[in-house]
Amino acid sequence: MVYLAHAPASMVRLAYSEDIQPALDERVVIPLETRFDSSPALSRRVYKGFERHVSMGCPLRKGGLCPSHCKGSCASRLALAAANDNQDVPETIHRYVRLGFEEGPRIRAMLSDKTVAELDRLARYTLSECERTRQFVRFSRLSDGTYFSSFRPKADTIPLTCSYFAARMRGDRFCLLDPKHRVIAMHKEGDRRCTVNRLDDRLTRELSEHAADLAEGETYMHAMWKRFYDSVGLDGRDASQRGYDLRTSWMPKRFWGGLTELDPTLESAMQADIPDPPSA
């Protein structure tokens, strides 16, 4: 909106409404309400224009080395940075878009530029959270046959990674919920893609509560998975041992609460004899 209004960059600083801390010489301006369906259209307009502008004359594009007109390097960084939870995202994207329209394909070589470096940092962190999403999401089978997982990344990664789970679980019906960002990815059996929806607080809470309705025998499967994990694990990973720091580096502790293999409530099932699996 700021770019389309041709507002001078030196006189505008964008911020999330909940993070606004104006300086002494700044005044807070709230944009006018627009129709819900108009904002995505304006965003696509700016994004497509930026994509075309930074790819014009790009040497990698001419040499056939840049896939899909620079989307993989210049323009798509905007989407990755926008998914980051950092409070500086709005202003960083604002400055990067302006720089891209000013410099065109030269922005590819401006790696030392402060604006480019900051946006690259935000995009890289989102990519790291995407990889952690693919690694640490754990699904459980509910009583209605749906596979469900609740995951809390530090970036809005569900829309960026749900296609991975759709490819891996094409024959299953599943829901992947992110209560923090209030987004859910839903997949039907046989579909190649997921349907992604934004939720309100009430629906997010209801879906989170529904996760406790496990299918018969699902706790048994959890206990079996934990036993397998413990049996193949290496010694020296406890908090008092040397391997603990390495373990927490590759498997951050903020995800441990959602990992079946680290669920402390399964300890009783592990200590006792695991019962025979339920009949099919």
Tell me the residue type at 38: S
Categorize the per-residue pLDDT at 244 as very low, low, confident or very high, splitting at 50, 70 and 90: confident
Among 91-105, 164-178, 232-246, whose mean pLDDT is lowest? 232-246
Question: For the chain, first and last CA: distance in Å?
Answer: 57
**pLDDT at position 44 over 50:** yes
Measured CA to CA, the distance from residue 75 to residue 243 in angstroms comes to 40
DSSP at 171: T
pLDDT mean across residues, the chain: 84
Residue with more model confidence, 195 or 53:
195
* Residue corresponding to tokens 């496990």: 214
Residue 45, token pair as written in the block = 């307009």
Q: Is-contact 184 199, C-beta < 8 A?
A: yes
Residue 247, token pair as written in the block = 């373990």
Predicted pLDDT at 49: 86
Predicted pLDDT at 185: 98
Measured CA to CA, the distance from residue 124 to residue 73 in angstroms comes to 12
For residue 207, the surrounding DSSP H or E stretch is helix 201-210
**pLDDT at position 133 over 90:** yes
The model's pLDDT over 55-81, given as tens digits with 9 standing for 90+, comes to 766 655 555 555 544 444 677 888 899
User: Residue 76 burial by CB count (10 A; 0-12/13-18/19+): exposed, middle or buried?
Assistant: middle
Supply φ then ψ for residue 239, to 5 degrees. Answer: -60, -25
Measured CA to CA, the distance from residue 92 to residue 114 in angstroms comes to 10
Q: Parallel, antiparallel, or unpaired: how do β-strands 183-187 and 174-178 relate? A: antiparallel
Measured CA to CA, the distance from residue 208 to residue 152 in angstroms comes to 12
Predicted pLDDT at 274: 56
Q: Say whether 197 sits in a helix, a strand or coil.
A: strand
Q: Dihedral of the CA atoms 50, 53, 59, 65 (nearest 10)?
A: 40
pTM of the model: 0.81
Going through 30-182 in order, the beta strands assigned E by DSSP cover: 140-141, 147-150, 174-178
